[in-house]
Amino acid sequence: MSPERFSRISQLLDQRQHDLTLCLESVHKNHNLNALVRTADAVGIHEVHAVWYDQQFRMSRGAAVGTEKWVNVIHHDGLAPALEHFRAQGQQIVVTHLSPQAVDFRSIDYTKPTAIVVGQERRGVTPEMIAAAEHHIMVPMVGMAESLNVSVAAAVILYEAQRQRAAAGCYQRPSLPESERQRVLFEGGHP
């Protein structure tokens, strides 16, 4: 690996936000999966979780072209294992939900360990996921459209998290476990 590449990957790893994650509940269009993983990568998310209820829709390997090597996509069969994972990591579960009970997405403290959940293109998030979440948020809208595209909604929320974390100095504090750091550096050197 060239010194330039080593230093680029090293810098990337220093800025990864180990305690921030994005959870996709049955999101299944390839252009959305691709956009979502790219955005996650761009704000320093190292691990994206995908929850599936239907094997048919499992993310096809090629979906997130270009970045999947740099963002780990973890697949779960159903909700329980995903929730278990977030809880084991001490992450607050923040679910996007277009309801009157939802609060403005900017009112959440994203510097805490957080899993942000977005839902399926047509049906949105499941009632079970809503019940499991600590916070229900929405991105305000003043027009006639009833919802935003899922990649768009996720990006607006993730960049609010980025803003808060940048202000709190989180990108200056490496948080990735050393073993994961070594694994990525090793694999990144062997394309």
Ligand X SMILES: C[S@@+](CC[C@H](N)C(=O)[O-])C[C@H]1O[C@@H](n2cnc3c(N)ncnc32)[C@H](O)[C@@H]1O
User: Whose CA is closest to 129, among 61, 49, 56, 57?
Assistant: 49
CB of 138 to a copy of itself, least distance (A): 11
Give the span between the Cα atoms of 160 and 166, in whole angstroms. Answer: 10
36 is in an annotated binding site: no
Residue 3 lies near a copy of itself (rule: CB under 8 A)? no
For residues 10 and 147, which CB has a smaller minimum distance to ligand X in the complex? 147
Q: What angle do CA 150, 49, 25 make, to 5 degrees?
A: 45
Q: Is 33 a binder of ligand X (CB under 6 A)?
A: no
125 contacts ligand X (rule: CB under 6 A): yes
Contact between 67 and 37 (Cβ < 8 Å): yes
Residue 42 as a binder of a copy of itself (CB under 8 A): the answer is yes
For ligand X, give the closer residue by CB, 139 or 158: 139
Give the Cα separation of 180 and 169 in Å (integer).
Answer: 22
In the region spanning residues 19 to 38, those forming contacts with a copy of itself, defined by CB under 8 A, are 29, 31, 34-35, 38
One DSSP character per residue, 23-52 reads: EEES---HHHHHHHHHHHHHHTB-EEEEEE
**Element housing 111 (H / E):** none
**Residue 159 in the binding site for a copy of itself (CB under 8 A):** yes
Give the tokens for residue 103. 């609060």
CB burial of residue 56 (10 Å; 0-12, 13-18, 19+) = exposed
Pick left, alpha or beta for residue 136 (phi over 0 → left; psi -120 to 50 → alpha; otherwise beta): beta
Residue 96 in marked binding region: yes
User: Binders of ligand X among 89-108, rule CB under 6 A?
Assistant: 96, 98
Contact between 73 and ligand X per CB under 6 A: no
Which residues are at the interface with ligand X (CB under 6 A)? Answer: 96, 98, 118-119, 121, 124-125, 138-139, 141, 147-148, 150, 153
Binding site, by residue number, is: 96, 139, 148
Which residues are at the interface with a copy of itself (CB under 8 A)? Answer: 8-9, 12, 15, 29, 31, 34-35, 38-44, 66-67, 69-71, 106, 139-145, 147-149, 151-152, 155-156, 159, 162-163, 166, 171
Binding site for S-adenosyl-L-methionine, by residue number, is: 96, 139, 148
